[in-house]
Amino acid sequence: MPRRKSSVVGREFGEGVRRAIEQTGLTHRKLAEALGWDEAKLSDLVRGKGGITEADLRQLLGYCRVSPDEVRYLVGLFHETRESGYLKIPDEGPPDQVPVLLNQERLANEITVWSANLIPGHLQTADYMRAVIDQEARNKSIDYEKVIAAKLERRKLFHPSRTFVFFLHEQALRLPVGGSDVMKDQYIHLLGMAQRSYITLRVVPTAIGAHAGTSGSFLQLSYEKFDPVIFIEGKTSGLFLEDTRSLAVYSSVLKLLDQQALDPEQSKELITSMLI
């Protein structure tokens, strides 16, 4: 099946508009009639085909009784839908970018992660997350338990309908986050997850020295219907890369990590040795 030209920001915009429409309880035909639109115009909007103005969008959102904050968010996305790439800088810090990433991960059929310094987020235990947060520079206005709860929602992604490949550096395994008890539980959790047929865990050993992933951690989302996306998480932002050059560069990094990492069985043996 040929892939449709679609962007992260376009998919986020379309999802937001669908949510607004669904809360009215109206069919597309009834809603179009109420707005004085052709039904095809509303259908094109939801599918991300354009054909509307900002005034049209505001008319729709106003009729749907969308909150002012959501209106500002969707109008902002509307103006970015033709851009390649998406930089998410939320007003309130990290918690807001988790749902955006989770929305894109739900659409992906393959998720590949490279983690240089910490256990990959999808595989972290709640105690490990808390221990990491405890040692970070923190924003007093943020409820970090909500951050943890949002990140744990990613566990619902684990299903045989999609595949996961996790590359992590050995130093991420050996970094003593939260003390020995936290790390022991974390190792056990990693080994349990690695037994699932749709999850592959690969460790890049310290002994090889420099490696392909020295530029930093990232994840690649691959889709059946869309082109891949690279996501890079910062302290207060999330960056989605979709341009051809970036995709080629990060794809080459993953190919080299595949050559440099221990195989799945060797990786599990290394983690098991840390339990002793």
Beta-carbon contacts of residue 143 (< 8 Å; ≥ 6 apart): 95
Q: What is the pTM of this model?
A: 0.78
pLDDT of residue 82: 58
- Pairing status of strand 199-204 against strand 110-115: unpaired
Summarised one tens digit per residue, pLDDT across range 20-50 is: 999 888 888 888 888 889 888 888 777 666 6
Buried b (16+ CB within 10 A) or exposed e, 207-224: eeeebbbeeebbbbbebe
> What residue ranges of the chain have pLDDT lower than 70?
1-6, 47-50, 81-98
